[in-house]
Structure 1
Amino acid sequence: MEQLIELSQTEIKLAFVASCIEGTARALGKPYQEIFERMKHVGMIRNYIWPNYEMLHTESRENVTNNMIECLTTWEAGK
Protein backbone atom coordinates (compact mmCIF):
# COMPACT_ATOMS: atom_id res chain seq x y z
CA MET A 1 0.00 0.00 0.00
CA GLU A 2 1.21 3.49 -0.89
CA GLN A 3 2.12 5.73 2.03
CA LEU A 4 0.66 9.24 1.96
CA ILE A 5 2.73 12.27 2.83
CA GLU A 6 1.15 14.59 5.38
CA LEU A 7 1.74 18.28 4.67
CA SER A 8 1.74 20.93 7.35
CA GLN A 9 -0.59 23.93 7.11
CA THR A 10 2.44 26.09 6.34
CA GLU A 11 3.44 23.87 3.42
CA ILE A 12 -0.11 23.96 2.06
CA LYS A 13 -0.22 27.76 2.30
CA LEU A 14 3.19 28.05 0.62
CA ALA A 15 1.97 25.89 -2.26
CA PHE A 16 -1.07 28.15 -2.58
CA VAL A 17 1.10 31.28 -2.65
CA ALA A 18 3.25 29.68 -5.36
CA SER A 19 0.17 28.80 -7.39
CA CYS A 20 -1.07 32.42 -7.09
CA ILE A 21 2.26 33.69 -8.39
CA GLU A 22 2.41 31.16 -11.21
CA GLY A 23 -1.22 31.72 -12.26
CA THR A 24 -0.75 35.47 -12.32
CA ALA A 25 2.48 35.17 -14.29
CA ARG A 26 0.84 32.86 -16.83
CA ALA A 27 -2.17 35.17 -17.25
CA LEU A 28 0.06 38.22 -17.73
CA GLY A 29 2.56 36.41 -19.96
CA LYS A 30 5.40 37.28 -17.59
CA PRO A 31 8.10 35.15 -15.92
CA TYR A 32 7.06 33.96 -12.46
CA GLN A 33 10.25 35.48 -11.01
CA GLU A 34 9.10 38.93 -12.13
CA ILE A 35 5.64 38.49 -10.61
CA PHE A 36 7.15 37.21 -7.36
CA GLU A 37 9.40 40.28 -7.13
CA ARG A 38 6.51 42.63 -7.91
CA MET A 39 4.26 41.00 -5.31
CA LYS A 40 7.06 40.98 -2.77
CA HIS A 41 7.88 44.65 -3.47
CA VAL A 42 4.34 45.82 -2.66
CA GLY A 43 3.94 43.40 0.28
CA MET A 44 1.16 41.46 -1.36
CA ILE A 45 2.32 38.00 -0.32
CA ARG A 46 2.80 38.84 3.36
CA ASN A 47 -0.08 41.28 3.73
CA TYR A 48 -2.74 39.86 1.42
CA ILE A 49 -2.28 36.32 0.11
CA TRP A 50 -0.92 34.70 3.29
CA PRO A 51 -3.37 36.21 5.81
CA ASN A 52 -6.36 35.71 3.49
CA TYR A 53 -5.56 32.12 2.54
CA GLU A 54 -8.70 30.72 4.20
CA MET A 55 -10.96 32.90 2.04
CA LEU A 56 -8.91 32.91 -1.17
CA HIS A 57 -8.36 29.17 -1.48
CA THR A 58 -12.11 28.53 -1.66
CA GLU A 59 -12.39 30.57 -4.88
CA SER A 60 -11.99 29.18 -8.39
CA ARG A 61 -8.54 29.36 -9.95
CA GLU A 62 -9.86 31.90 -12.48
CA ASN A 63 -11.29 34.16 -9.76
CA VAL A 64 -8.10 33.95 -7.70
CA THR A 65 -5.94 34.83 -10.72
CA ASN A 66 -8.17 37.77 -11.66
CA ASN A 67 -8.12 38.93 -8.04
CA MET A 68 -4.31 38.69 -7.91
CA ILE A 69 -3.94 40.76 -11.09
CA GLU A 70 -6.35 43.42 -9.85
CA CYS A 71 -4.71 43.55 -6.43
CA LEU A 72 -1.18 43.72 -7.85
CA THR A 73 -1.97 46.55 -10.27
CA THR A 74 -3.86 48.48 -7.59
CA TRP A 75 -1.10 48.10 -5.00
CA GLU A 76 1.59 49.02 -7.52
CA ALA A 77 -0.34 52.14 -8.52
CA GLY A 78 -0.44 53.15 -4.86
CA LYS A 79 3.34 52.87 -4.39
Structure 2
Amino acid sequence: MQQATTHISRAIDDKLMEFVVFAIESAAQKTGIPAPVLYNRLEKVDLITRYLIEGYDVLHTQSREYIADTLIEALDNWERYYKEKEK
Protein backbone atom coordinates (compact mmCIF):
# COMPACT_ATOMS: atom_id res chain seq x y z
CA MET A 1 0.00 0.00 0.00
CA GLN A 2 2.87 2.38 0.80
CA GLN A 3 4.24 1.94 -2.72
CA ALA A 4 0.86 2.87 -4.26
CA THR A 5 0.63 5.96 -2.07
CA THR A 6 4.14 6.99 -3.07
CA HIS A 7 3.27 6.54 -6.76
CA ILE A 8 0.12 8.67 -6.42
CA SER A 9 2.04 11.35 -4.53
CA ARG A 10 4.74 11.41 -7.22
CA ALA A 11 2.08 11.72 -9.96
CA ILE A 12 0.51 14.69 -8.17
CA ASP A 13 3.92 16.31 -7.74
CA ASP A 14 4.64 15.78 -11.46
CA LYS A 15 1.31 17.36 -12.45
CA LEU A 16 1.95 20.32 -10.18
CA MET A 17 5.46 20.79 -11.58
CA GLU A 18 4.11 20.63 -15.14
CA PHE A 19 1.55 23.29 -14.26
CA VAL A 20 4.16 25.60 -12.71
CA VAL A 21 6.37 25.31 -15.80
CA PHE A 22 3.35 25.85 -18.07
CA ALA A 23 2.31 28.98 -16.16
CA ILE A 24 5.80 30.51 -16.13
CA GLU A 25 6.36 29.75 -19.83
CA SER A 26 2.95 31.22 -20.71
CA ALA A 27 3.65 34.44 -18.80
CA ALA A 28 7.17 34.63 -20.25
CA GLN A 29 5.85 34.37 -23.80
CA LYS A 30 3.17 36.99 -23.16
CA THR A 31 5.63 39.51 -21.67
CA GLY A 32 8.69 38.71 -23.76
CA ILE A 33 10.68 38.15 -20.58
CA PRO A 34 13.00 35.12 -20.73
CA ALA A 35 11.54 32.29 -18.62
CA PRO A 36 14.60 32.01 -16.32
CA VAL A 37 14.43 35.75 -15.56
CA LEU A 38 10.71 35.53 -14.86
CA TYR A 39 11.27 32.47 -12.68
CA ASN A 40 13.83 34.37 -10.59
CA ARG A 41 11.49 37.33 -10.16
CA LEU A 42 8.63 35.05 -9.11
CA GLU A 43 10.87 33.16 -6.72
CA LYS A 44 12.16 36.39 -5.15
CA VAL A 45 8.63 37.36 -4.01
CA ASP A 46 7.60 33.72 -3.32
CA LEU A 47 4.82 33.68 -5.93
CA ILE A 48 5.64 30.20 -7.18
CA THR A 49 4.59 28.80 -3.83
CA ARG A 50 2.09 31.41 -2.69
CA TYR A 51 0.23 31.80 -5.99
CA LEU A 52 0.89 28.94 -8.39
CA ILE A 53 1.23 26.00 -6.00
CA GLU A 54 -1.26 27.13 -3.36
CA GLY A 55 -3.70 28.23 -6.06
CA TYR A 56 -3.28 25.15 -8.24
CA ASP A 57 -6.73 23.67 -7.55
CA VAL A 58 -8.44 26.75 -8.98
CA LEU A 59 -5.84 27.97 -11.47
CA HIS A 60 -5.35 24.71 -13.38
CA THR A 61 -8.97 24.90 -14.56
CA GLN A 62 -8.46 28.33 -16.15
CA SER A 63 -7.30 29.30 -19.63
CA ARG A 64 -3.67 29.80 -20.55
CA GLU A 65 -4.34 33.51 -21.11
CA TYR A 66 -6.01 33.94 -17.71
CA ILE A 67 -3.16 32.17 -15.92
CA ALA A 68 -0.52 34.29 -17.70
CA ASP A 69 -2.42 37.55 -17.15
CA THR A 70 -3.08 36.98 -13.46
CA LEU A 71 0.46 35.76 -12.83
CA ILE A 72 1.90 38.90 -14.45
CA GLU A 73 -0.53 41.09 -12.50
CA ALA A 74 0.32 39.36 -9.21
CA LEU A 75 4.04 39.72 -9.89
CA ASP A 76 3.70 43.44 -10.65
CA ASN A 77 1.66 43.96 -7.47
CA TRP A 78 4.04 42.00 -5.23
CA GLU A 79 7.16 43.66 -6.66
CA ARG A 80 5.55 47.07 -6.17
CA TYR A 81 4.61 46.12 -2.59
CA TYR A 82 8.14 45.03 -1.71
CA LYS A 83 9.66 48.08 -3.40
CA GLU A 84 7.42 50.43 -1.39
CA LYS A 85 8.12 48.47 1.78
CA GLU A 86 11.87 49.09 1.33
CA LYS A 87 11.40 52.87 1.38
Flag whether TM exceeds 0.5 (same fold): yes
Structure 1: gaps (5+ residues): 1-5
Deviations 1:21-55 (A, max 9, x none): 11111111011000000000000001111011000
Per the alignment, residue 51 of structure 1 pairs with: 54
Question: Where does structure 1 differ by over 2 angstroms across 4 or more consecutive aligned residues?
Answer: none
Paired residues in the alignment total 74
Amino acid paired to 1:11: D
Decide which of 15, 18, 21 is 2:18's aligned counterpart. Answer: 15
Q: Give the % identical residues.
A: 31
Q: Which structure has the highest helix share of the two? A: 2
Quote the RMSD (CA, aligned, Å). 1.3
Matching residue of 2:77: 74
Instruction: Compare CA radii of gyration and give the structure with the larger one.
Output: 2
Structure 2, unpaired ranges of 5+: 1-7, 83-87
Q: TM-score, normalised by structure 1?
A: 0.89
User: Structure 2 length normalisation: TM-score?
Assistant: 0.81
